[in-house]
Amino acid sequence: MKWGAASTSAFAAIVGVSLFAGAQQTSKPHHKQPKGTMGRRSSVRAGKHYTLPATKENVQWGWFDVNEKPRLTVRSGDTVSVETWYHALDAIKPAPTDHTIAGPPMEEITRLRKENDGGGPHSITGPIYVEGAEPGDTLEIRILKIVPKDYGQNFNLPGKEFPTGLLPKEFPEGFLRYYKFDLEKMQTEFKPGIVVDLKPFPGVLAVAPDPDEPKEKAGPPIKDAKGRTSTLRPWKNGSNMDLNELQAGSKIYFPVFVKGALIWTGDSHCRQGNGEMNLEAIECAYKEIEIQPIVHKGMKTDWPWAETPTHWIFLGFDEDLTEATKIAVRNTVDWLSTQKMVPMDRYEAYALTSIAVDCDITQMVDIRKGVHCMVPKSIFVKK
């Protein structure tokens, strides 16, 4: 991430803010944004509210295509409630049967994975065109609300057929389990005696791909013969980041690569540990993920970065975990050495990263590995 004078001043205006079929439009003011502990409130116009349902017209399977006609056009500050599907265009969809949860067997999941070879398994809803977004701008996306559907699943593909997951040779057979959610308690039972809390977040949240994305170092080609970009890998446009901190109340900033930015979301998750080691989280789908895109002019962003009520988060992706860590740390140092709350030079920023910043593995299983460095807001005590 690089910050020029204009970038820094634009960032200073928003940093530290507390978080707060077809498309249909309704009248609805934007969400109130309480004053933060540092900085000042962003100026966001009161926008309109839209819905974008998951339909065969609005959902794509495993590929980003910048030539897709936008399914919805919004303005900066509008809000959108997006529905998402389960993997493979809703084909891997759990359902109740005789007091149990069932879904497609492993043989069918294996067939579906081979059917879309090279593309991701992800069903992605979009694209959403944001008026005024231009290449070189920064697009902020606020995640306002997430309402999961009732069921989810987790599987690892058979390691004897697929080199996926962290330990495919040690798990040659496939594993598959479906889950029923208690959405009042926001919990699910892993098995009798183990209950996990649900913490939903979008595994894939993306703008249009970077036209200068480097060629693949491993795995299938990034692009197909039609010029579409696979959803398998995370990169500067976001895509398959699997950052489990992107829960309701968080926001993320992306560099804009094409006019209108173009937003997609999918690969909806309901719980994931850092690393996503066996290949999947508890994969689910959303009745609604409500987002608010905001265009920032004069604010240069090279890599996506996020903010939660408690942290600023800086990301790095590479096929090599050490290189991914270097990118995330470099982005953290760049930010710390240019923020204006407590000015510091790059040596101080590097030291503070070592002392107070946790750099965690985001995921290990998306060909390009992910690392995210979390700067705690609590360390900034100057008023």
Residue 25: pLDDT band by 50, 70, 90 thresholds?
low
Residue 129 has pLDDT above 60, yes or no: yes
Provide the token pair at 47: 């926008």
Q: How many whole angstroms separate alpha carbon 13 and alpha carbon 367?
A: 36
Assign 3-state DSSP to the chain and report helix, strand, coil percentages, each to 5.
15, 35, 50
CB distance 28 to 79 below 8 Å: yes
Q: Which of these, 176, 146, 142, 17, lies nearest to 74 by C-alpha position?
A: 142
* Residue environment code for 230-244, b if the CB has 16+ CB neighbours within 10 A, otherwise e: bbbbbbbbbbbbbbb
Q: What is the pLDDT, as a whole number, of residue 30?
A: 39
pLDDT averaged over every residue in the chain = 91
Q: Which residues contact 343 (CB under 8 A, 6 or more apart)?
A: none
Give the pLDDT confidence of 67-101 residue by residue, as tens digits: 999 999 999 999 999 999 999 999 999 988 877 88
Provide the token pair at 118: 């090279």
Give the pLDDT confidence of 115-124 residue by residue, as tens digits: 998 999 999 9
Provide the token pair at 100: 């149990």
Q: Which residues contact 251 (CB under 8 A, 6 or more apart)?
A: 19, 140, 141, 142, 143, 306, 307
- Residue 179: Cβ-neighbour burial (10 angstroms; 0-12, 13-18, 19+): buried
Provide the token pair at 70: 């936008």
DSSP state of 76: T
Say how many CA atoms lie within 13 Å of 338 toward its Cβ. 22
Residue ranges and CATH numbers for the domains of the chain are: 18-302 (2.60.120.580)
Q: How many whole angstroms separate alpha carbon 383 and alpha carbon 381?
A: 6
Q: How many whole angstroms separate alpha carbon 182 and alpha carbon 196?
A: 11
Q: Helix or strand or coil: residue 66?
A: coil
Q: Which residues contact 157 (CB under 8 A, 6 or more apart)?
A: 109, 110, 113, 164, 165, 168, 174, 279
